[in-house]
Amino acid sequence: MNSDIQNIRWGILGTGKIAQNFACSLAEINSAVKQSVVSRNPDHAVWFSQKFGFTHAHRTLDEFFNDPEIDVIYIATPTNLHYEHCLQALNSGKAILCEKPFTRSWEEASQVVEKARSCGLFCMEAMWMRFNPFIQECRKLIQDQHIGKVCSVNIGIGYQKDLSKLGQPEDGHGAMLGFGCYALSLAFFLFGEPQNYQCQLICTDAGVDVNCAVILIYPHHTVSISISINTTNSNDVHIFGTDGSIYIPSPFIDATDMRVLSNKSPRMGLTQRIGRKLTRIAKPITSLLPQSTNPASIGLIREAEETMRCLRLGLKESPVMPLNESLLIHQLLDKIKSSAVLN
């Protein structure tokens, strides 16, 4: 670990869009040092390091993993490489923040977690949505019963993809891994592990899931989830309680707005009630966002800050995205994917 505990030196594995967004987010954190980058294409690594201000661009993975100047590695490679790259990083003594979905399966995820724990190294799935201030405020409102007891939840997520590029199931490009992981992680974050579930998946001839409907069953409410990669979904969240509702507009994974309607109010006339409801449902909670920060990047910034906080404190995992929860979510993803129906 860096002798200057206030500064954390980052390495980035991968140079795609999410890696570029993450690099921009690191620029917002004074104590984040942009140390090294590597890519399958060495020229891309050089371009990336120059564009985003990284000190080194390594030409090989071995050079990168063995760089003694790296404290933590952000893994932003394709999903089918996460397992291999996580283990390589951990075997090199590096802490890791790995993009969602953590791996392709519970089996892969459990081996990564076991390795991280046996090595005593920090490890976290990079589910930046959980670090969005609107998602965190939503959780607090639910816990405080601001809308009473939750009765039902509707989540829609998905963006249209080129189905000809999905490949095989083992490539990790299906709807559940690509987008369903967000919805399941949100449900676990807000309500914990469900008691049961029901699901239906529609897949390509190759077995890649493209349309999914999932119902998570809790003791007193359900969470209905619609996931798709052959059309663009609503990408919003509706939470209905006995005393009101919460609406997070699209895109909820990068929320920049939240509207809360509470029915907890003194008795009043119809006109007053309508006026009060309209005022509340249109009320954006913009004060949760720093004025100088790009709203869409706040989740990435805060997950990086959380990683650095944990490293400074010697924590091996984050209470916001604990490893056991990543494992439970992957276990449920595996069960849901096993219910596939081929076209």
Distance of CA 129 to the CA centre of its chain: 5
What's the rounded Cα separation, in Å, for the pair 152 and 198?
A: 15
CATH homologous superfamily, domain 8-129+297-316: NAD(P)-binding Rossmann-like Domain (3.40.50.720)
- Residue 297 has a pLDDT of 87
Give the residue range(s) of CATH 3.40.50.720 domains in the chain.
Answer: 8-129+297-316
Q: Which of 250, 44, 275, 59 is nearest to 155 (CA)?
A: 250
pLDDT of residue 263: 81
Domain with CATH 3.30.360.10 in the chain: 132-290+330-342
339 burial level (CB within 10 Å; 0-12, 13-18, 19+)? middle
Helix, strand, or coil (residue 50): helix
For domain 132-290+330-342, the question of CATH label 3.30.360.10 is answered with yes
Instruction: Kindly state the tokens that stand for 336.
Output: 């849901």
Cis bond upstream, residue 42 (ω within 30) = no
State residue 339's pLDDT score.
79
Residue 278 in tokens: 């309209």
Joined tokens for residue 145: 């019963």
Neighbours of 38 (CB within 10 A): 28
pLDDT below 70 — which residues of the chain?
1-5, 264-296, 340-343
In the chain, which residue ranges form alpha helices assigned H by DSSP? 17-26, 42-52, 61-65, 79-91, 106-119, 133-143, 175, 181-191, 270-281, 298-313, 323-337
Region label for 83, one of left (φ > 0), alpha (ψ between -120 and 50) or beta (otherwise): alpha
Query: 176: which DSSP letter?
Result: I
Let me know if 12 is exposed, middle or buried by CB neighbors in 10 A (0-12, 13-18, 19+).
buried
